[in-house]
Amino acid sequence: MSGALAAAVNAAEAYRLIDPHVHVWKVDPNYPWAKETRNPPTEDRSPEMLIELMKKNGVEKTVIIQVIHYRWDNSFLADTLKKYPQYFQGVARVNPEDPAAPDTLSSLVKQGFKGVRISPAANATGDWIRGPLMPPLWKRCSDLKSVMTVLCPVARIPDVEKLVEKHPDMTVVIDHMADSPIGQPQELEKLLALRRYPKVFVKISHTWSLSKQPYPWKDTWEQVKRLHQGFGPQRLMWGTDWPVCLGHATYEQTLGVVRDEMDFLNDDDKSWILSKSIERVWPFPK
């Protein structure tokens, strides 16, 4: 084996695959859907199903994001984390329009949650991101040294930036490239503006959702390249978004597109995006 090849093999072996974005749920009256949930799932997407996929694909650890079907009731995820601490960490949801949200977050962190997710919509229903309840929630998240995870359309990123600017030392993760549309490349500049804040990370997930092509969704690669150039691999991370991905992609494809297909990423890039960047945000025990 040549020296270069040996180095590449050693680099590949030096990290463990970690998925920073999945959801789980169970059709069970002990864990009722939120009353706002329309068309609730009729089939389980259980932690056990996820663990089997992880084992099959060599994924060692996973961060589970509280699924919207339960809204602010994090009970199922809390119980999952207690049952399988060797596999999972969790990100909770709190009601961003509830003045008690900071205290709720404190309680959830005491239970073992490692972050909180907020999801402001593009329309007026998401205007709470500009409102008076956000600064105390962000401050509490910062004080707790918890992770603020944001799912929003790219049009909301300037609102998010105003909050990031007040808490530059807080770790913030932007989900799914803010779903910036590939047909409007100028919109990505809003997300790229966050590169000036060293604690902001971006998930390059959802290429399958943004693409107008079949796997490996090459029409999205230019967007990933721009984020790679702007943030560097140390602040990018992949993510399956299982089982949401299943309408467009398999679990295996959401891993393979980064690990096997994106030929503009070198081995070191992949070690960050598939593992080390995630460990910067959600460190797992060795």
Q: Sketch out the chain's domains with CATH numbers.
A: 3-281 (3.20.20.140)
Tens of pLDDT, residues 18-34: 999 999 999 999 999 99
Residue found by looking up tokens 């107008």 in the block:
212
What percent of the chain is helix, strand and coil (3-state, nearest 5)? 50, 15, 35
Residue 8 has pLDDT above 50, yes or no: no
Residues 6+ apart with CB under 8 A from 88: 47, 61, 62, 63, 64, 80, 81
Half-sphere exposure of 110 (CA within 13 A, CB side): 6
Query: What's CA 90's distance to the chain center, in Å?
Result: 11
Residue 269's Cβ-count burial label (10 Å; 0-12, 13-18, 19+) is: middle
pTM over 0.75: yes
Tens of pLDDT, residues 176-235: 999 999 999 999 999 999 999 999 999 999 999 999 999 999 999 999 999 999 999 999
Nearest to 44 by CA among 250, 245, 243: 243
3-class DSSP state of 265: coil
CA 265 – CA 245 distance, rounded (Å): 23
Residue 57 has pLDDT above 90, yes or no: yes
| CB-based contact 118:129 (threshold 8 Å) | yes
CA 201 – CA 175 distance, rounded (Å): 9
pLDDT score for 277: 98
Taking all residues of the chain, what is their mean pLDDT, rounded to a whole number? 95
pLDDT score for 162: 98
Strand 172-174 relative to strand 236-237: parallel, antiparallel, unpaired?
A: unpaired
Q: Which residues are 91's β-sheet partners?
A: 65
| DSSP label at residue 227 | H
Angstrom CA distances, 14 to 17, 20, 51, 274, 275, stand at 10, 18, 22, 12, 10
pLDDT score for 286: 85
Helical axes 134-143 vs 101-110, angle rounded to 10°? 20
CA 119 – CA 281 distance, rounded (Å): 19
pLDDT score for 13: 57
pLDDT score for 14: 76
3-class DSSP state of 92: strand
